[in-house]
A and B are shown apart, each in its own frame.
Chain A
Amino acid sequence: MTDFSFINAFSGGVMIGFAVILMWLFLGRITGISGIIGGIVMPEKGQVSWRVIFVLSLVTGGAIYPFLWGKDLSVTLDYSWPVYLVAGLLVGVGTRMGSGCTSGHGICGLARLSNRSIVATVTFIATAALTHTVFSLITA
């Protein structure tokens, strides 16, 4: 996609930044989405309901976006079903093994200046770029 909008990208990012800051400053919680949903499927006593409420609110944010911004939520999927099955499994295993995803490491971890998160973020972005490049060449 080449119709890049700096304003949309940056302002959306600022909103995400405020979202993670609210959770940290007020509740002392890292807003890592893989960790939050991991704590729902592998429940810890007393730590399930806030996670469910957060996930429902997250989905609601996407649901109300078209009404607030007057634009459709555009989700373009280029591949067939098996790709999403394999990708989902890898993302699940990988984020659990590596203790985080784009939000937990890429935003919260980098903002905390955590060494582990800096290494993880560089690793998953580089691996993803390489994977996409190779996969595009194979399927071209």
Chain B
Amino acid sequence: MESTDKGIPFSNLIIIIASGILFGLGLSVSEMVNPARVLGFLNILGPWDPTLIFVMGGALTVAVPGFQYARLMHKPVLGMSFSMPGKKDLDKKLILGAVLFGIGWGLAGICPGPSLVALNAFDGRIVLFVVALLAGLLFHDKVLSS
């Protein structure tokens, strides 16, 4: 990807917009945008809703071969290099972070992608969630890790 803000090439722009729209539609079609569906999946002792498992199954059916195919490529079609996540080790931050995220996700049934798509429902509680989410991201970097 271009490393300057001078402008994103038109071809890259098409990919970003197509991916964003497809992602938003996918979350809507699968109803993962609805916290009640997610909580139904997390509801292991009561009536259980398997939707989330099949959403992940559908996504991985495409994504696993896609990511494995990418290993054969020297660079992405339109980019300079693959931005591979750098960390390799299992550390305390990974586990503690996943636990904190899990508590928040389990409370409300909302994770970052669906929270943004759910803004379309025009409910103030979703707006509050998104503002708190952004504040939490900032709080981690500005307070906890400085």
A residues neighboring B (CB under 8 Å)? 1-2, 4-6, 8-31, 33-34, 37-38, 41-42, 45-50, 53-65, 68-69, 73-79, 81, 83-103, 105-116, 119-121, 123-133, 135-136
Give me 20 A-to-B residue pairs in the complex whose CB atoms sit less than 8 angstroms apart, sorted by A's number. A9-B50, A13-B59, A13-B61, A16-B58, A17-B61, A22-B15, A50-B1, A50-B12, A58-B113, A59-B24, A62-B27, A73-B121, A84-B108, A85-B128, A94-B101, A95-B97, A97-B140, A111-B67, A116-B85, A135-B107
| Docked complex Cα distance between A89 and B133 (Å) | 5
Q: Tell me which residues across on chain A come within 8 A of B136, comparing CB atoms.
A: 88-94, 96
Question: Per a CB cutoff under 8 Å, which of A25, A61, A106 touches B70?
Answer: A25
Are A25 and B73 neighbours in the complex by a CB distance under 8 Å?
yes
Q: How large is the interface on B (under 10, 10 to 19, 20 to 34, 35 or more residues)?
A: 35 or more
Are B57 and A86 neighbours in the complex by a CB distance under 8 Å?
no
| Docked complex Cα distance between A137 and B13 (Å) | 47
Question: Per a CB cutoff under 8 Å, which of A5, A30, A75, A78 touches B118?
Answer: A75
| Docked complex Cα distance between A42 and B146 (Å) | 14
| Docked complex Cα distance between A55 and B116 (Å) | 8
Q: Tell me which residues across on chain A come within 8 A of B87, comparing CB atoms.
A: 99, 116
